[in-house]
Amino acid sequence: MFDFRPVGYVIGLLLVALGATMLIPWAVDIAWDTGGGGTFAVSAAITILFGGSLALASANSRTPGLNLQQAFLLTVMSWLALPVFAALPFWFGAPQATYTDAFFEAMSGMTTTGSTVFSNLDELPMGTLLWRGMMQWFGGVGIIVVAMAFLPTLKVGGMQLFRSEGFDTLGKVLPRAGEIAGSISIIYLVLTVACILAYTLVGMEFFDALVLSLTTISTGGFTNTDASFGAFQGAPEYVASMFMLLASLPFIRYVQMMRGSSQPLFRDSQVRAFLVTALSLILLMTFYRMLYNGEGSEESFREALFNVTSILSGTGYISVDYQLWGPFPVVLFFMLGLVGGCAGSTCCSIKIFRFQLLFISIKQQIKRIHSPHGIFAARYAGRPVGDDVMSSVMAFFVMFMLTLGVLSVILTLLGLDFITAVSGAATALANVGPGLGPEIGPSGNFGGLSDPVKWVLSAAMLLGRLELISVYILFTVGFWRG
């Protein structure tokens, strides 16, 4: 019989920790008298009480590790439970949203999607703005740990390719995850502090620098203004671009650098592929804007650098409405949102390594057509790639496209036009942020959508953040029998 108690124990502890962190924006609101302090105090009390009760009720089942079923269930349920309670400050206090809007905002924050239903952000209490940034910061470091400690063991979407990075967690998920989280959290914190300092050095006010650093390093995309990053054009765009690129690289490479070995970073195939892709697209968009839009070279480069990096990394910041640049940039940015950064980073979407493996598989098939009797072994970064990895990656691509199609159909049935439905489904599933069209495009937000649409998009964010199959497997009979 399936034992839920080990899962409940861990989720309870996570909720207690989440509730405790709500006291930070509470203190900010009290200190600056912005009027939202009581909301966070009540939300923290409810979250800590519920989480503590759940942990105590499950405490007699603590084990050294989790089995495969429990690991899958913990991965999904923790990412579902945290937004449920993270939404409370939005529901109880400013901006006094409906629970649907509050949950959408919390899910968008925790999954580092960056889509928002709120407007007039400049008028929200400082504690609320800080909480939006904190949610994304927690979600960013959380997904790194999940990606490096859990997904390789669960063999999700080809992530087992990275088990050789020293994160073999089978049979000892929790102890190893704690060790991983410790090393990664140090680097994550160092990058965040460095980002805060860099933003302040280029003239940004400290509070904006603080919140934007939380959402930059997490590649989340929440900002303190309705204009997104359009309120900070100029030097801050260069700072943001640099740190978004750093956050898009595998954090395990930073751990190795911290321990004295920098070669793995420069030899990493997906790092090279990601940086080459980013540079090529930035230059392409720069020249396009100079030739077809008649913009100056510095402005064209800066805006291309920032917006390409933002969408490619899945951050979702917008400094200008790129829909005004013409049809080509719109199509390019839509496709960029489906690429993503490196595995083991804070990035979302399909990830660059899966495209590499897809091209390797295509190349293999072409060789087999030319030489039917030849033997062609797939290799990635100089290592042989097993059939299980290749089939897992191909299954991920199929599941991603099928899910995108089904979500788009559902959204059209709920009343959205074709462009809004497809781009909304894509941006939620890829955890990017802005969609296309006048309503959810770079200059809009998701607040005007109906409640059923928001729940569908929230579900899509969860699916995309957890690599689809981690969630789908819970709906199979075999999982519960195993």
Q: Which of 196, 229, 158, 166 is nearest to 394 (CA)?
A: 158
Q: Which of 397, 418, 398, 394 is nearest to 408 (CA)?
A: 418
pLDDT greater at residue 430 or residue 31? 430
Q: Which of 36, 12, 10, 9 is nearest to 23 (CA)?
A: 36
pLDDT greater at residue 33 or residue 206? 206
Mean pLDDT of 225-230: 92
Write out pLDDT tens, residues 324-334: 898 999 999 99
**Residues 9, 11: Cα–Cα separation, whole Å:** 6
Write out pLDDT tens, residues 71-105: 888 889 999 999 999 999 999 987 878 999 999 99
Residue with tokens 């990096």: 309
Mean pLDDT of 227-238: 93
pLDDT number for residue 176? 55
Cβ atoms within 10 Å of 217's Cβ, excluding its own? 28
The two structure tokens encoding residue 153: 């063991």
First to last CA, the chain: 9
Cβ atoms within 10 Å of 370's Cβ, excluding its own? 9
**Residues 85, 104: Cα–Cα separation, whole Å:** 12
pLDDT band at 154 (very low <50, low <70, confident <90, very high): low
DSSP 69: H
Residues in the chain, total: 482
R_g of the chain, CA atoms, integer Å: 22
Write out pLDDT tens, residues 246-292: 999 988 888 888 877 778 788 888 999 999 999 999 999 999 998 88
The two structure tokens encoding residue 350: 């399909």
Angle at the Cα of 182 (from 179 to 188), degrees rounded to 5?
A: 140
What mean pLDDT, rounded, does the chain reach? 87
**Residues 290, 205: Cα–Cα separation, whole Å:** 32
**Residues 334, 323: Cα–Cα separation, whole Å:** 11
Please tell me whether residue 370 adopts helix, strand or coil conformation: helix
Please tell me whether residue 379 adopts helix, strand or coil conformation: strand
Please tell me whether residue 245 adopts helix, strand or coil conformation: helix
**Residues 336, 247: Cα–Cα separation, whole Å:** 17
pLDDT band at 173 (very low <50, low <70, confident <90, very high): very low
**Residues 200, 193: Cα–Cα separation, whole Å:** 11
Please tell me whether residue 384 adopts helix, strand or coil conformation: strand
**Cis link prior to 95 (omega < 30° from 0)?**
yes
Query: Which residues are CB-contacts of 442 (< 8 A; sequence separation ≥ 6)?
Result: 228, 318, 320, 321, 322, 323, 434
**Lowest-confidence region among 55-64, 118-127, 460-469:** 55-64
Cβ atoms within 10 Å of 443's Cβ, excluding its own? 18
pLDDT greater at residue 384 or residue 120? 120
**Lowest-confidence region among 185-199, 334-348, 419-433:** 334-348
Cβ atoms within 10 Å of 19's Cβ, excluding its own? 23
DSSP 322: G
Cβ atoms within 10 Å of 371's Cβ, excluding its own? 10
Asked whether the beta carbons of 152 and 462 are under 8 A apart, the reply is no
**Residues 415, 225: Cα–Cα separation, whole Å:** 29
Q: Which of 119, 114, 173, 116 is nearest to 148 (CA)?
A: 173
The two structure tokens encoding residue 202: 């280029």
**Residues 469, 478: Cα–Cα separation, whole Å:** 14
